Amino acid sequence: SIFYQDDTAAYLQLAGWSPSGQYLAVLRQPKRDYDVVDICFLRRDGTLETCFDNIASYRLLGGYRLFDDFYSITWSDDEQRVYFIQNQNPDCRLEVVEADIETGSVHRTLYEHAGGCASTPPTFHLSPSQRYLARYAGRDLITSEHTVAAYAREVLTIDLLTGDQYNLTAQIPPERGPVAFCPGWSPQGRFLSARIYTEPERPGLYAFPYRPEVVLVNPTGQIVHTLAADQLAAQGIDFVHCPAWDADETGFYFLAGAYDEEWAWRQSVSIYHYALASDELVEVNLLQTFPPPSKFGADKLAIGPLRVSPGATHIAFSYLSRMGIIGVGILFPDGEVLQYEYPHPVGSPLWFSALVQE
């Protein structure tokens, strides 16, 4: 069924629920001007609460970042205020602002970045507590997973309370290999995650022939946990995607899999779960195996991102068919995978949030 329809929109992208599930944030590329982006907020019955129009330039921020998890919206505890990035100015200055969802007005600016119109702008992720701001910058990184980790090479965090800044990338020893940070904070804001590509002598794709490991860093840049390359290799894992966190931050799910012996094509893709306290890595479900001669991809290649349902009973993900069509897959507790495929582009899936009552 149709939850919400906007005839003024050329494209809509889900941006996430408020903490209680009362509001849903949606990014809109309007038909009136294809070079701007609006943010709209819907009530859980699908009716419109308010929109902030022309908050940013589609071209300046980069459409692929806006619609690939690199645009962040954060909420206050009472859900009356919302925090997002805007650039409503001729000099392309980016601002992280606090706005009132009921009045549709911007209250204050928390942070400004004056990078100018000629440079490629960074993107920002505000922590759930609104204390730390993570700034993602640097050139794009194409990893051996065929994915572009946009603006993930250099991450700086800013303590908005004290003004202190921490270069997270510089604190990771360069001898460990190239680093690709994943977008956004863990649910409670304790961690940012990154993938490090080790073993430069290993053959691979796109000039990144490395085995991955996953590290968690705190807001000031210390590595506080590592899912080591050896542990991943012990389960035959050659590539990993970014974490999909448990709500209590005790662990996370992720897509991972293996290449053939020559690293020319993928042999398998699975969903795994990793528990931080026990250091336990478990394969939840093998989604696909690709026998020869399918060197040009599978009929339905899971590409993520993973979306874990409330209660962690089901897992949704995007997949790419051999014909280039994006679909949605849902993993059920019994291991069955239900697939939906559409003849037109679709965004990442998002579960309908359970309403939290006080």
Mean pLDDT to the nearest integer, 230-257:
92
CB-based contacts of 29-35 (< 8 A; 24+ apart in sequence): 29/58, 29/63, 32/8, 34/10, 34/58, 35/59
Q: Is the pLDDT of residue 213 over 70?
A: yes
| Amino acid letter, 158 | I
Q: How many CB atoms lie within 10 A of CB 290?
A: 20
- Alpha carbon distance 124, 335 (integer Å): 37
Confidence of residue 221 (pLDDT cuts 50, 70, 90): very high
Sequence-ordered alpha helix ranges (H) in the chain: 58-61, 63-66, 229-234
pLDDT at 318: 82
Give the pair of three-digit tokens for residue 89: 């100015």
Mean pLDDT to the nearest integer, 340-356:
72
pLDDT tens column, 171-181: 988 878 778 88
Token pair 């300046």 is found at 60
pLDDT at 61: 66
- Alpha carbon distance 178, 198 (integer Å): 8
pLDDT at 23: 93
CB-based contacts of 224-233 (< 8 A; 24+ apart in sequence): 224/191, 225/191, 225/276, 227/274, 227/281, 229/198, 229/199, 231/279, 231/281, 232/256, 232/281
Higher pLDDT, 335 or 203: 335
Mean pLDDT to the nearest integer, 339-358:
71
- φ, ψ for residue 231, nearest 5 deg: -70, -40
- Alpha carbon distance 263, 225 (integer Å): 28
Q: What percent of the chain has pLDDT over 90?
A: 38
- Alpha carbon distance 166, 154 (integer Å): 11
pLDDT at 149: 44
Q: Which of 58-67, 201-210, 216-225 has the lowest mean pLDDT?
A: 201-210
pLDDT at 144: 43
Q: What is the DSSP string of 87-100?
A: --STT--EEEEEEE
Whole-structure pTM value: 0.87
* Cβ atoms of 307 and 241 closer than 8 Å: no
Higher pLDDT, 240 or 89: 240
- Alpha carbon distance 258, 54 (integer Å): 43
pLDDT at 199: 65
pLDDT tens column, 34-53: 888 899 999 999 999 999 99
Of 118, 112, 123, 116, residue with least CA distance to 65: 123
The most distant pair of C-alpha atoms in the chain lies apart, rounded to whole Å, by 59
Q: Cα-atom radius of gyration of the chain, to the nearest Å? A: 20
Confidence of residue 203 (pLDDT cuts 50, 70, 90): very low
Residue 323 neighbours by CB under 8 Å, 6+ apart: none
pLDDT at 67: 56
- φ, ψ for residue 326, nearest 5 deg: -90, 130
pLDDT tens column, 53-74: 988 877 766 655 555 556 788 9
Mean pLDDT to the nearest integer, 161-177:
89
- Alpha carbon distance 181, 179 (integer Å): 6
Confidence of residue 193 (pLDDT cuts 50, 70, 90): very high
CB-based contacts of 29-34 (< 8 A; 24+ apart in sequence): 29/58, 29/63, 32/8, 34/10, 34/58
- φ, ψ for residue 122, nearest 5 deg: -80, 175
Q: Is 61 helix (H, G, I), strand (E, B) or coil?
A: helix
pLDDT at 133: 95
pLDDT at 65: 58
Helix H or strand E encompassing 179: strand 179-185
pLDDT tens column, 90-142: 677 888 999 998 888 899 999 998 876 656 678 889 999 999 999 988 655 44
Mean pLDDT to the nearest integer, 146-170:
79
pLDDT at 103: 84
Length in residues, the chain: 358
Mean pLDDT to the nearest integer, 191-220:
75
